[in-house]
Amino acid sequence: MASGHYILQASIALLCYLSWAAHAAQFEVVVGGLQFKPPTVVAAPGDTVLFVFKQGNHSATQSSFENPCVAALGGFDSGFMPVAEGTNVSFPASPLNVTTTEPVWVYCRQANHCQQGMVFAINPGNQFSAFQAAARSSSPSSSTKTVPSSHTSTATSSAVPRPAATSSDHTVVVGGPNRVFFSPSNITAQIGDTVTFQFQQKNHTVTQSTFAQPCVSLTESSTSGQIGFDSSFMPVADNATNFPTYTIQINDTSPLWAFCRQTNHCGAGMVFSVNAPELGPTTFEAFTARAKELNGTKKSSNAVSSASERTTITYRRNGRAGLSATVAAIILVLQFQAAAF
């Protein structure tokens, strides 16, 4: 009897996963030029909005409809993300997890950017122009006084790029017998340093990607024509003693993300970073987890349990979530029944 319930529960969890997987999405929002692009997105719980910061020194900070240019207490805040003028690759990014279907109001808390209409919203309905108009007419003092209470992202508040007095080279071994990883897999480097990848056994690459899409080359994912570095495939025979190398130069302190393009390697966690933040949502650990989640081979079996968890959370947060809420409710009931047996 109880096991029958478990089977039913498992299939409903799978159903939930399928419906969740079909909807979970990632929205990339470019922050720069005194605007958020696109200025609004329609997103569901479980989706992610990734703010990508371009030239200037901006933030993505949650506010409220009533006070568009004042940080909401305990709200999301990327922190300031200064991006130097010459930067054309690896822009810093900060992800925001969407947990509600209610509107989420966001602004840039730099100087008077908000008063110039630099605002953004998730699920604003038809209220966005009213929100932006309110931002334009809000008093400048209100934005500078308020310091947000929570910094959910400490990612790359890098100082103005300045070459280090002495530059050094960092050696990273790629692959080797039974080694499907970069060693070390994450490093800290100064401006002007070089990183030399030494390719050992098998057939690997080191290819620049982004935090948002760990296993897709920057060249491929960029919507603005950025060209990321790519060593190309470096096949190395089992008995080799001479190893080919590929060197990159570090031009700024913003994080660099990379992966191996060989089939299944990235999804197995063969990723690499330079200057990944030690704290916040964009650590090297989070990058690795993201690679495995998006390109791993075992994702369906793991995802079922976490998806049913997520759907339950969706139900708690939003009573109007329709079918998935109903299904989540059934799961809750079944969990009670299973517990009773």
Binding positions for ligand NAG, rule: CB under 6 A: 57, 80, 82, 86, 88-89, 97, 110, 152, 159-160, 184-186, 203, 215-216, 226-227, 229, 233, 235, 237, 239, 248-249, 251, 256, 261-263, 266, 281, 284-285, 294-295
184 and 274 in contact (C-beta within 8 Å)? Answer: no
CB of 36 to ligand NAG, least distance (A): 17
Instruction: Report the residue number, 129 or 316, with the smaller CB distance to ligand NAG.
Output: 316
Minimum Å gap between C-beta 309 and ligand NAG is 10
CB of residue 214 vs ligand NAG: minimum separation in angstroms?
8
- Could you tell me which of 155, 125, 133 has the C-alpha nearest to residue 60? 155
Pairing of strands 271-274, 186-187: parallel
Instruction: Tell me the closest approach of the beta carbon of residue 273 to ligand NAG, in angstroms.
Output: 8
The Cα–Cα gap between 335 and 115 comes to 50
CB 270, min distance to ligand NAG, A: 9
Nearer to ligand NAG among residue 82 and residue 175 (C-beta): 82
- CB nearer to ligand NAG: give 129 or 306: 306
**Closest CB to ligand NAG among residues 121, 271:** 271
Burial of 39-56, coded b for 16+ CB within 10 Å and e otherwise, reads bbbebbbbbbbbbbbbeb
Distance of closest approach, residue 176 Cβ to ligand NAG, in angstroms: 15
With beta carbons less than 8 A apart as the criterion, state whether 208 and 229 touch.
yes
CB of 226 to ligand NAG, least distance (A): 6
Minimum CB distance to ligand NAG smaller for 110 or for 324: 110
- Compare residues 190 and 337 and give the one whose CB is closer to ligand NAG: 190
Residue at 145: amino acid letter = K
CB of 261: closest distance to ligand NAG in angstroms?
Answer: 6
Closest CA to 312 of 132, 99, 157: 99
Please report, to the nearest 10 degrees, the dihedral formed by the alpha carbons of residues 211, 228, 60, 80 taken in order. Answer: 100
Nearer to ligand NAG, 159 or 339 (CB): 159
Helix, strand, coil shares of the chain, percent, nearest 5, are 30, 25, 50
Distances (CA, A) of 85 to 54, 161, 187, 229, 337: 9, 10, 24, 20, 61
Neighbours of 191 (CB within 10 A): 16
Q: How far is the CB of 246 from ligand NAG (least distance, A)?
A: 11
Instruction: State how far the Cα of 95 lies from the Cα of 20, in Å rounded to an integer.
Output: 19
Nearer to ligand NAG among residue 125 and residue 184 (C-beta)? 184
DSSP secondary structure, 11-23, as one string: HHHHHHHHHHHHH
Q: Kind and range of the H or E element at 4?
A: helix 2-23
Cα dihedral sign, 66-68-74-76: positive
When the beta carbons of 11 and 144 are compared against ligand NAG, the nearer one is 144
